Homo-oligomer: A and B are copies of this chain.
Amino acid sequence: MSYRLAELAEKIGGEVQGAPDRRIDGIRGLETAGPGDLSFVANPRYRKIAIASRAGALLVSPSSVDLGHDLLVVADPYFALAELLDIFYPQSPQVVGVHSTASVGEGAVIDPSASIGPYSVIGERCRLGADVVIHPHVVVGRDCEIGAATVLFPGVVIYDGVEIGDRCRLHSGVVLGSDGFGYAQHEGTHVKLNHVGCVVVEDDVEIGANTTVDRALLDETRIGAGSKVDNLVQIGHNVGMGRGCLLVSQSGISGSTRLGDGVVIAGQSGLSGHLKLGDGVQVAAKSAVFKSVEAGKKVAGIPATDASSWLRQQAMVARLVDWGRRIANLERTAESGDKGREP
């Protein structure tokens, strides 16, 4: 595919500064782009690299000037990039139908537009919507529901009774519906609680590779619409998540904790169980949240506290060696002062 810069500007509502007829064949990073490529500058720290880039044109915000290239100027370069990637690199169509080696259980209802790849196993009484794509080596348990245009990549495992909405993407190694970690202590042993709840994934959710979501003990574990979950994340039994949450890689949410809408949990952070995080809460990377957090707050640290307090505290910790000296000095002064005052 190849477009004139002016054509692209029209498609995404931008403005050309420079040669409108320059031909663009693809999109590359600043350091690898050549004269036929568009590249982008979404972060001012890459300004020098942008100037040195061999890219034919740059996708920039109105604040980026003097970059020495033909420019495609848009209000939001990162969002425009999302649009342009869809234009240049449309998803390749899947072979429709059930592969001859796939196994479909009795009573399952598969939309004729769905695609089911080699060796995949679909359980009894499952319902798969239009344009669902099941890659090879996916296992779906009994009585599951998978909404329209949802994609399950190779090696995904869905246990019995899980509901997945429309337009979701579950990457390889995702496990939905495994038993939660719940045992009753009894006479010195850990007695298993049979987990009979389910997992519900609402529409437009993406879940990264090797992430695990446990089924509820009773009731449900729920991931809200439009939420995005990174790789290797743990979501415990009976967790409830609102809409549009972001869970970054290797974070974990313990059982029965509830997130509001738009909550962001940064990488390698953890939340203990039975908490409530209000709408828009942000948890900094590598934090451990042991208490509920009110809507709109940013928290950080182990244990997590107000994020700006935590930053100040850490700055203080970095000065402790100096403080130790100052306290010792004060003690020496006080002692000699006392002596000075002695008769």
B contact residues around A88 at 8 Å (CB): 196
Q: Are B327 and A326 in contact (CB under 8 A)?
A: yes
B contact residues around A137 at 8 Å (CB): 119, 121, 137, 139, 157
Q: Are A320 and B316 in contact (CB under 8 A)?
A: yes
B contact residues around A338 at 8 Å (CB): 333, 337
Q: Are B194 and A85 in contact (CB under 8 A)?
A: yes
A115 within 8 A of B: no
7 further interface pairs, Cβ-Cβ under 8 Å (given A153-B178, A190-B246, A285-B290):
A32-B218, A136-B139, A190-B226, A249-B254, A272-B285, A313-B318, A337-B337
Q: Are A249 and B250 in contact (CB under 8 A)?
A: no
Q: Are A252 and B250 in contact (CB under 8 A)?
A: yes
CA gap between A117 and B181 in the complex, in Å? 25
Return the contact of A76 from the options B184, B190, B209 (Cβ within 8 A).
B184
Q: Are B208 and A212 in contact (CB under 8 A)?
A: yes
A340 within 8 A of B: yes
Q: Are B231 and A181 in contact (CB under 8 A)?
A: yes
Q: Are B45 and A274 in contact (CB under 8 A)?
A: yes
CA gap between A124 and B193 in the complex, in Å? 35
With A194-B82, A312-B321, A341-B340: A181-B248 Cβ-Cβ less than 8 Å: yes
With A121-B137, A190-B226, A190-B246: A327-B324 Cβ-Cβ less than 8 Å: no
Identify 6 residue pairs between A and B in the complex whose beta-carbon atoms are under 8 Å apart, listed by A's number. Answer: A29-B216, A78-B193, A137-B157, A155-B175, A189-B204, A333-B338
Q: Are A212 and B231 in contact (CB under 8 A)?
A: yes
B contact residues around A190 at 8 Å (CB): 226, 228, 244, 246
A162 within 8 A of B: no
Instruction: Give the residues from 235 to 273 in chain A that come closer than 8 angstroms, CB to CB, to chain B.
Output: 236, 238, 244, 246, 248-250, 252, 254, 267-268, 270, 272
A3 within 8 A of B: no
A294 within 8 A of B: no
With A181-B228, A330-B331, A331-B326: A212-B210 Cβ-Cβ less than 8 Å: yes
CA gap between A82 and B189 in the complex, in Å? 13
CA gap between A338 and B330 in the complex, in Å? 12
> Residue-by-residue, is A165-192 near B (CB-CB < 8 Å gives 1, otherwise 0)?
0000101110100110101111011111
B contact residues around A316 at 8 Å (CB): 317, 320-321, 323-324
Q: Are A192 and B206 in contact (CB under 8 A)?
A: yes
